[in-house]
């Protein structure tokens, strides 16, 4: 695979897509074409065919002819799409079904005839690559990754930027029904026996990161039943006991008894009871501190491994938001200067939130291009529902609070309190009120930023302006200064900025 550290060039104003992954899985054969910044790849095309290559592995040990034919038809289509899109960087991998089937080698030869060069991943490679994807989505995270695919379950320890001890167990969603058999009560015991015999080195008390469509469907179910205001299960966190309670409630039920779940397809719904039974055994075996759901796994792990160390070290949230805000006319340089301008609001504290403040500023400035009557709706969507990488639910709530405050909203939706404590939301509102003040002065122009200063002095919020900029301070600016000061429980005043203070 080529290096992903180069900027994606433009042709006639359009982005040239450079990265593609074709994933030949046990359940689906998927094509994903990525664009966007190298550190925060964005899906620009995603399609799959449910060929179910591994549907008969437990009984016959082979890939059925009909399934192979369906997969190869899809791959021939994908080859044409890749050529048509002009993709330069293509990675094709095959996993458990092809690995375990007695006719897997024959199938791979047929895949090569479509024009692709597939690589067959071992169980350990599959596990560790999935963990690489989680590392890419959650920088600095450590714990255990459980990736549930159609043909296998991968488990791997990871942390401090590396992965170790990955194993693959024959517990994919296509194999679980055979373990359930005619006695659902025995499902857990059968799964537990395989897990205990897998040789996985258990480290209790770790965060358990869950990867795979069926596990994310379970995450979506938990979100619905707990009343979460979020819609995307990526990054969603749940405590172990809540997950155990909900999993136990559905593990022995039939899919038809679950009813529709918003955001969960009927095919995923059918697999949910088996996935819940598996999750119960994982919780018992691993005793995790909490569960976190990840949309990044094997495919993104392949991209993450191909990044240069320099690219990998970048903040994925800042990379993604920088790209997004730039498309809305917000240069990173302006956002960085504004971050320094509002520094007095947090008085140098909370250095770990610096990246989130910069994100709030970039999105706040980007929202200026929205129609006024649409801003609140859009910034809530940007904060809570857009697929950002490297952000947790609490940070999403803080981002929403900051963006609503910069829109002039002093009261927050109650739903934010389900994700974040009141103190952190209060801090984020202060960032938003400060951004609004700057915008009111002169639209955050460079001249107004250089010619003004916001500070806190002896219990008073002081806005100093260069004398030639005093006409910028209107009744509206005074109101914004007052709102910010009252929010911080301070007095306020406007003063003249001396030339020495610039």
How confident is the model over 289-318, as a mean pLDDT? 95
Q: Are 452 and 441 in contact (CB under 8 A)?
A: yes
Q: In this structure, what is the dihedral angle of CA atoms 239, 141, 211, 81, given to the nearest 10 degrees?
A: 150
State the pLDDT at residue 11.
Answer: 36
Q: Which residues pair with 120 in a beta bridge?
A: 94
In a domain, 308, yes or no: no
Q: What is the mean pLDDT of the chain?
A: 91
**Phi, psi angles (nearest 5°) of residue 114:** -80, -10
In a domain, 185, yes or no: yes
In a domain, 277, yes or no: yes
State the pLDDT at residue 183.
Answer: 66
Q: Are residues 280 and 134 in the same domain?
A: yes
Q: Are residues 250 and 182 in the same domain?
A: yes
How confident is the model over 47-68, as a mean pLDDT? 94
326 pLDDT band, cuts 50/70/90, is very high
CA 488 centroid distance within chain: 33
State the pLDDT at residue 475.
Answer: 95
Other CB atoms within 10 A of residue 335 CB = 26
Q: Are 150 and 172 in contact (CB under 8 A)?
A: yes
Tally the domains of the chain.
3
Q: In whole angstroms, what is the distance from residue 97 CA to residue 111 CA?
A: 14
Choose between 201 and 440: higher pLDDT: 440
Choose between 267 and 342: higher pLDDT: 342
DSSP per-residue string spanning 329-395: T--HHHHHHHHHHTHHHHTT--GGGHHHHHHHHHHHHHGGGS-GGGHHHHHHIIIIIS--SS--HHH
Q: Are residues 397 and 283 in the same domain?
A: no
Q: In whole angstroms, what is the distance from residue 159 CA to residue 156 CA?
A: 10
User: If DSSP codes are grouped into helix, strand and coil, which group holds residue 170?
Assistant: coil
Range 449-472 burial, b when 16+ CB lie within 10 A, else e = bebbbbeeeeeebbbbbbeebeeb
List pLDDT tens digits, range 64-109.
999 999 999 999 999 999 999 888 899 999 999 999 999 999 999 9
Domain CATH code at residue 267: 3.30.420.150
Q: In whole angstroms, what is the distance from residue 5 CA to residue 37 CA?
A: 9
Q: Are residues 179 and 72 in the same domain?
A: no
Residue 450: is its pLDDT beyond 90?
A: yes
In a domain, 307, yes or no: no
User: If DSSP codes are grouped into helix, strand and coil, which group holds residue 259?
Assistant: coil
Q: In whole angstroms, what is the distance from residue 439 CA to residue 448 CA?
A: 10
Q: Are residues 150 and 169 in the same domain?
A: yes
Q: Are residues 108 and 135 in the same domain?
A: no
Residue 3: is its pLDDT beyond 90?
A: no
- For the chain, the farthest-separated pair of C-alpha atoms sits apart, in whole angstroms, at 84
State the pLDDT at residue 190.
Answer: 85
Query: Taking the chain, what is the end-to-end CA distance rounded to the nearest angstrom?
Result: 50
Out of 120, 139, 155, a domain closes at 120
State the pLDDT at residue 14.
Answer: 40
**Phi, psi angles (nearest 5°) of residue 159:** 165, 160
Q: Are 448 and 471 in contact (CB under 8 A)?
A: no
**For the packed helices 240-250 and 213-226, what is the interaxial angle rounded to 10 degrees?**
100
The domain of 176 spans 124-300
Q: Are residues 177 and 97 in the same domain?
A: no
Q: Are residues 257 and 330 in the same domain?
A: no
Q: Are residues 255 and 400 in the same domain?
A: no
Q: Are residues 110 and 129 in the same domain?
A: no
Q: Are residues 114 and 128 in the same domain?
A: no
Q: How is residue 151 written in tokens?
A: 């043909």
Q: Are residues 275 and 330 in the same domain?
A: no
Out of 67, 85, 120, a domain closes at 120
Q: In whole angstroms, what is the distance from residue 371 CA to residue 84 CA?
A: 37
Q: How is residue 267 written in tokens?
A: 């095919």
Domain CATH code at residue 378: 1.10.3210.10
Domain CATH code at residue 99: 3.30.420.40
pTM of the model: 0.90
**Phi, psi angles (nearest 5°) of residue 35:** -130, -155
In a domain, 3, yes or no: no
In a domain, 2, yes or no: no
Out of 100, 120, 140, a domain closes at 120
Q: In whole angstroms, what is the distance from residue 204 CA to residue 143 CA?
A: 9
List pLDDT tens digits, range 198-248.
888 888 899 999 999 999 999 999 999 999 999 999 999 999 999 999 999
In a domain, 26, yes or no: yes
In a domain, 4, yes or no: no
């Amino acid at each position: 695979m080529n290096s992903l550290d180069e900027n994606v060039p433009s042709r006639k104003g359009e982005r040239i897509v450079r990265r593609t992954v074709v994933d030949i899985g046990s359940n689906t054969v998927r094509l994903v074409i990525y664009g966007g910044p190298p550190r925060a790849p964005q899906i620009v095309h995603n399609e799959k065919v449910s060929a179910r290559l591994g549907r008969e592995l437990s009984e016959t040990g082979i890939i059925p002819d009909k399934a192979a034919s369906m997969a190869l038809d899809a791959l021939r289509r994908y080859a044409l799409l890749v050529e048509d899109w002009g993709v330069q960087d293509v990675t094709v991998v095959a996993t458990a079904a092809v690995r375990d089937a007695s006719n897997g080698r024959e199938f791979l030869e047929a895949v090569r005839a479509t024009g692709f060069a597939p690589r067959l991943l071992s169980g350990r490679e599959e596990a560790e690559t999935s963990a690489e994807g989680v590392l890419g989505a959650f920088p600095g995270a450590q714990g255990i990754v459980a990736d549930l695919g159609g043909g296998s379950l991968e488990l791997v320890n990871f942390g401090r930027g590396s992965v170790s001890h990955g194993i693959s167990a024959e517990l994919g969603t296509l194999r679980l029904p055979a373990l359930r058999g005619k006695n659902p009560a025995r499902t857990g015991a059968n799964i537990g026996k395989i897990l205990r015999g897998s040789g996985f080195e258990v480290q209790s008390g770790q965060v358990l990161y869950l990867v795979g469509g069926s596990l994310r469907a379970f995450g979506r179910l938990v979100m619905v039943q707990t009343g979460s205001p979020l819609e995307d299960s990526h990054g969603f966190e749940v405590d172990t006991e809540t997950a155990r309670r909900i999993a136990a409630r559905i593990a022995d039920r039939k899919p038809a008894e679950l009813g529709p779940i918003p955001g969960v397809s009927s095919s995923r719904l059918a697999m949910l009871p088996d996935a819940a039974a598996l999750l119960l055994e994982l919780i018992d075996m691993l005793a995790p501190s909490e569960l976190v759901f990840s949309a990044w796994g094997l495919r993104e792990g392949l991209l993450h491994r191909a990044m240069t160390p320099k690219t990998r070290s970048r903040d994925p949230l800042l990379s993604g938001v920088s790209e997004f805000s730039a498309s809305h006319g917000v240069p990173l340089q302006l956002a960085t200067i504004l971050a320094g301008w509002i520094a007095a609001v947090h008085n140098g504290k909370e250095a770990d939130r610096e990246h989130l403040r910069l994100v709030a500023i970039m999105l706040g400035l980007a929202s200026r291009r929205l129609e006024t009557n649409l801003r609140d709706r859009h910034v809530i969507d940007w904060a809570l529902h857009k697929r950002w990488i490297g952000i947790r639910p609490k940070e999403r709530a803080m981002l929403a609070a900051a963006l609503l405050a910069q829109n002039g909203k002093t009261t927050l939706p109650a739903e934010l309190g389900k994700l974040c404590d009141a103190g952190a939301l209060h801090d984020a509102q202060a960032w938003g009120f400060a951004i609004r003040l700057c915008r009111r002065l002169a639209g955050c122009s460079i001249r107004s930023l250089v010619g003004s200063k916001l500070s806190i002095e002896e219990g008073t919020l002081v806005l100093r302006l260069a004398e030639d900029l005093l006409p910028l301070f209107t009744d509206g600016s005074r109101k914004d200064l007052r709102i910010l000061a009252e929010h911080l429980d301070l007095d306020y005043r406007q003063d003249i900025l001396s030339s020495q203070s610039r």
